[in-house]
Amino acid sequence: MKRILDKLDERLGDGLERILCAHHERRLRGLGWGHVLEPGGAEDRFGGRAPVRDGNRVSVLVDGEESLPAIADAIRHARSHVHIANWHASADFRMTREPGAPTLRELLAETAARGVDVRVLLWAGPPVPAFQPTRGLARAEQRKFTEGTGVRCVLDSRERTLHCHHEKLVVADDAVAFVGGVDFTALEGDRHDSPDHPPRAIGWHDLAARLDGPVVADVADHFRRRWTEVAGEDLAPPAVPAPAGGSRVQVLRTIPDGTYDFAPRGEFTVLDGYLRALRSARRLVYLENQFLWSPEIAEVLLAKLADPPDDRFRVVLLLPRKPSNGSDTTRGQLGRLLAADDGGGRLLATTISAHDGAADAPVYVHAKLGIVDDEWLTVGSANLNEHSLFNDTEVNIATDDPEVARSTRLRLWAEHLGRPVAELATADPADVVDDLWRPLAEEQAERERRGERRTHRLVLLPGASRRAARLQGPLRGLLVDG
């Protein structure tokens, strides 16, 4: 009976995913974006669908301990303006946990009091109070930011039905920008954490990129265009900053069609960037993400695993054990990926938790990062689901600077493996996966199976299965992703 149910599940899942992918293909072709789904063009990981800027410096900031103080410092030292766009922000959120640290409201109010224009653009919340942040909560926080301050805070309700404005970006003086996955709120989880991930109620692994150089103008212009339409205030086009480094950088966006007049046919360059990079992969795909159930992304990975471009090709995934939603859909795609790998040892799906020898606690993987062959990197707000790739507003950055990609991977792998960067730097990534990642993750999974306390933060992601869970991603895509 189990084999019959598995086969039925597989056929239903395949059928639903074909319908979903065909729906998205028709939609994108009708909007003039159908070429994004075409298999050619992988040789150019950037393509010509979003501007590429030379002369930038990219600094990937790991976890709240590093990213939040850096953003606060940029706000504190702004001289002209501070522009913030986020999914949600709480007025009482503190950017650091140092004694006496101001709340976000206090920080922004003090900045505005110095004559700096402070503009905050937040999602207005869902039209029905089905999930957080509700529209009532968004309005309450808006009042807290603006009453008695010089801060301007506007709520954006132009979301596609049952979707949201999900991007997280900060621009200071059009000279420095931050793009990533960090929300300025404790709603649904505490964003403050460090790479040590000490046990606490729930740890939070996240990333942001600090940008210096000409690409800042592209981030600033994106905010300007949204603000102009939503707030009705014209802002001057940003000046392009002078070169600040040696990295080429591209701003990738998801803008659903029909949402803004400045992009009536939408923009889907986040999807384009991921598909180009993954198709080009030869030796390594490393993904940290909150979700992994986009069939468009999964199909590329399935093809790579079934017909690997190199004997040492590896796919390493770091995902949360229990996403806030979409857990079962992620598990369903993992089942497909494991089947495509067919015991070849090319795929490793893991998660992390916090340990201090006596206590343990979950760590929520909220990062949205992709690294391919240590030659291409993306960081931003976009998850690998249909919401982020087609229907939420999202902003990512991508660079083909191999030094940025490799150094970021080494730093993250050192964090997750608990090993020094220097030890990992001289090893081939496939050897690190085979000799460190997999043995550690499997050992900890076996400890869990025996009911023993785990001794390391890394563990295999449990519960990968095609049964029933396989259907939820396609169904959600058809019913919600429109």
pLDDT of residue 394: 98
For residue 85, the model assigns a pLDDT of 98
The pLDDT assigned to 479 comes to: 54
pLDDT of residue 331: 66
pLDDT number for residue 476: 60
Residue 477 pLDDT: 55
Please report the pLDDT score of residue 467 as a whole number: 43
Q: What's the pLDDT at 20?
A: 84
Consecutive 10-residue averages of pLDDT for the chain (482 residues)? 70 79 94 89 78 97 97 98 98 94 98 98 91 94 98 96 93 98 89 88 92 98 98 97 98 97 97 96 97 92 96 96 63 83 95 81 93 98 95 97 98 97 97 98 94 91 56 57 49
Question: pLDDT value at position 131?
Answer: 82
Angle subtended at Cα 231 by Cα 226 and Cα 233, rounded to the nearest 5 degrees: 95
pLDDT at 17: 81
Where along the chain do its domains lie?
2-51+250-480, 52-249
Look up the CATH superfamily of 2-51+250-480: Endonuclease Chain A (3.30.870.10)
Which of the listed CATH numbers 3.40.50.300, 3.30.870.10, 3.30.1490.190, 3.10.20.600 matches domain 52-249?
3.30.870.10
Query: Is the full-model pTM beyond 0.85?
Result: yes
